[in-house]
Amino acid sequence: MRKKVRLIPARGAVLFALVGLAACGGSGGIPANAVVSVGGTPITKPAFKHWMQIAAVSGASGVFAKNPVAPDPPAYTACIAHFKEISENKKLTAEQLKRQCESQYKSLLQQVLGFLISSQWVIGEANSLGVKVSDKEVKKQFETIKAQQFPKAAEFEKFLTTSGQSVSDLLLRVKLNLLSTKIQQKILKEKTKVSQAQIDKYYNENKSRYNSPEKRNVLIIQVKTEAQAKAAKKEIESGKTFASVAKRVSIDPASKVAGGALNEVQKGQEPAGLDQALFAAAANKLSGPVKTAFGYYIYEVKTVTPATQQSLAQAQQSIKAQLNATQQRAVLAKFVKEFKDRWKAKTDCRSAFVVANCKQYKAPKTGTTSTAAP
C-alpha cells in the first residue's frame, strides 16, 4: 500500500500524520499535549504513540513479531517484559534488556518523527499552494491500489494485522501521496517551459547526435599471409562462393561462421588499412589483399547505406522532451531544497524529540555519531 512521495525523504514519504488540536500551553510554543509543532500545527502525543506502535509492529520479524510492543520510556516496562519473553538468551539481565529497548526506541523515534514531520510539511505546502484532494479521489485511489496488491480479501486483512494499521491510516497515506503528486504537478506546470529558441540552440550545438553515419554490409576473409589471401581470392574468382571459401580458410571468428559477412559496418570499426579500404571501395567488387596488423584481408562491399542527418523539424520533439526533462529535474531539485529549508524553520521539537527535520537539530561533528538524526 506504499507509493513513494517525491517531495520529501523516502522514509517520510509513506506516513500521513494523525494530528489533532492540542490544548494551548507547554514550552517553546509547543502545546502541552504535543511533541512537535509544525507551523503552529501540533503533532500530538497520541498521534506519536499511535505511529510508534505501527512502526514497532510493521518492523518486527521472526520471534520479534510475536505480540510486538512499542518501547515505552523511561522505564520500558512493557518492552522489557516482551524482550524477556521472546529472548533466546534467558540469562540477560533486566538492565541488558532495558538497553535493547532504549536502542529500539531511539531508532523508532527517528523514523516515526521523520514520517510525521515530513507529512505535516506536505500538508502545509498543499494548503499554501491551494492544492486539494477530495474524499472521492482518495477512496478511488485506495480501492485501485488495494485491488492491485491484495486481490483477495483475506490478504488485505492479513496485511492490516501484520502492519498494525487500520483502513483509516491507509486512507491518510493515500491522501498524502495524492497531495504530493498534485504539488509536484503544480510546481512543474508553473516553472517549466521549453522555448523554440532553446530547441534551436540545442540542435545547432549537438547536430552530430542527430546524424546516422554511413554503413556498409561487407564480406571479408582474414588470413595470416599475403600468399594465402591471394589464393583465397583466386578461388573466388574461379567460381567458388565467397561464403564457402571464408568458412574454410578465414581466421576471423566473427565473420567466418557467417560466410565472411559483416553487416552495418561503420567507419572506424575495423582494423586500420582494412577500414580505409572498405570505405573507399566500390560496391560488388572483389578486392584485396590489404595488409593490417592482424594479417591480410580480401573483401567485397555488398551494400552501402549513406549517412543521414535529422533535420531540426525531425529532431524537434525528442529535443523538446529532453530539455523539458532536464528543466523538470532542476526545478524539482530547487523546489525540494527550498521546501525543506522553509518547513524546517517552522518545525519546533521538544528537547527529547529532536530529529534532523527540527529547527533545533544540530548536525554532529565529523567523527561523532548522532542518535537524533533519522
pLDDT per position as a tens digit, 186-243: 999 988 999 999 999 999 999 999 999 999 999 999 999 999 999 999 999 999 999 9
> In the predicted model, is pLDDT for residue 28 greater than 60?
no
Select 214-306's CATH number: 3.40.430.10, 3.10.50.40, 3.40.50.1700, 2.60.120.1130.
3.10.50.40
pLDDT digits (tens, 9 = 90+) for 255-277: 999 999 999 999 999 999 999 99
Cβ 259 vs Cβ 247: under 8 Å: yes
CA distance 66 to 291: 77
- Tell me the whole-structure pTM to 2 decimals: 0.69
Question: Alpha carbon of 186 to those of 5, 30, 126: distances in Å?
Answer: 15, 32, 10
> In the predicted model, is pLDDT for residue 84 greater than 80?
yes
CA distance 177 to 183: 10
Cβ 357 vs Cβ 351: under 8 Å: no
Cβ 223 vs Cβ 250: under 8 Å: yes
Cβ 364 vs Cβ 373: under 8 Å: yes
Domain ranges of the chain: 10-192+327-353, 214-306
